[in-house]
Every structure is written in C-alpha cells, then in structure tokens.
Amino acid sequence: MQSRRHALWLLFICFMFTASSCGIYTFNDVSIPPEVKTVRIGFIENKAHYINPSLSAQLTDAFVKKVNSQTKLKRIDDMNADYVINSVIRQYDVTTSGVSSSNQASLNRLTVGVHMTLIDNTKHETHEYDVSSTFDFSANLSLAQAEASLMTQILKDIPDAMFNKVFSNW
C-alpha cells in the first residue's frame, strides 16, 4: 500500500513537470502565446487630478520588474515589439470611507486607478484595461503621511493587477 502511494505521487509529479514543459499547465497562471517574444513597456504617465510626483517612475519600475521576473519576454524599446503596453494613472483620489460616532471622518480611502492599452502586434489587435486598488488609512493622517505608509503596498498591488490583466489566463 505504501509503495503504491509513492508510485502514484511519483506519477503525479512526473505528469506535472511534463505538462508544464509542454505548455499545458503553468504554476503561476501566466498565459503568453508562444509567438510573443518581445515586450515594450512605456513610461506610466500620471494624468490624475492629484499628482504624486514620484508615483509614475516608481510604478513603471515596479511593473517592469514584475514582467521581467514573471515572464521570459525580452524587453525592447521599439513600437514593433510583439506586445506594446502603455499605461496612464487616471485616478488618485481620497474619499472618506468611515465616520466616527461624532460624525467626523475616521477612515479615508485612497483609490489608485490605471488605464492600460495593450497593442498585440502579433494579431494586430488592441485591448484596453482598467485596474484599480483601494488603500484605507486613518483620517488622522495627512495624505503625505498616508502615502509614505501605503507606497509599498501600492507598488505591489497595482503592478500585480496590471500584470494579471495582460498576462494571466483568468
């Protein structure tokens, strides 16, 4: 019984490695057509009403790192790349999301939204996507204080959402 269980596990592991190398199954749900070999990632412009002066550069860098670490695509600076990804920060808004018993704001919410355009030169198609994430913070903090404490999470969540829209087969 024990040896049969080991044999089944070995068979399962062999299947997973074989299937992943054939492109049948991927562990990280990245779905890139085999003909796509190159990508151009444009600088993420900030066109929101409120502009955090460092967000564009930091977000661009975080997204580039995410694509580099999760794909084998060669990054080139050419509009003829197989995938051309251009993005714009369109939303950077703070709203009240919690009110205390004395009718004063107790919790604020920062919403960061990015509009993406994917040009798939292999299929001569263009796709547009919107991603956004919300980040709650105490109303006792100024926006500058909140940004300082939330920036690590923003630079993780937004590039993850952008990557998933373009590269994940959901």
pTM, two decimal places:
0.79
Model confidence pLDDT, tens digit, residues 119-161: 999 999 999 999 999 999 999 999 999 999 999 999 999 999 9
Do 82 and 149 share a structural domain?
yes
Residue 135 φ/ψ, nearest 5 degrees: -135, 115
Nearest CA to 42 out of 20, 59, 17, 24 is that of 59
Average pLDDT over residues 85-89: 98
Contact 21/33 with Cβ under 8 angstroms? Answer: no
Do 95 and 13 share a structural domain?
no
Number of domains in the chain: 2
Question: Domain span at residue 9?
Answer: 1-30
Task: For residue 77, give the 3-state DSSP assignment.
Answer: coil
Is the model's pLDDT at 1 over the cut of 70? no
- Radius of gyration (Cα) for the chain, nearest Å? 21
Do 84 and 44 share a structural domain?
yes
Residue 108 belongs to domain with CATH number: 3.30.160.150
Do 49 and 126 share a structural domain?
yes
Q: Give the Cα separation of 44 and 61 in Å (integer).
A: 9
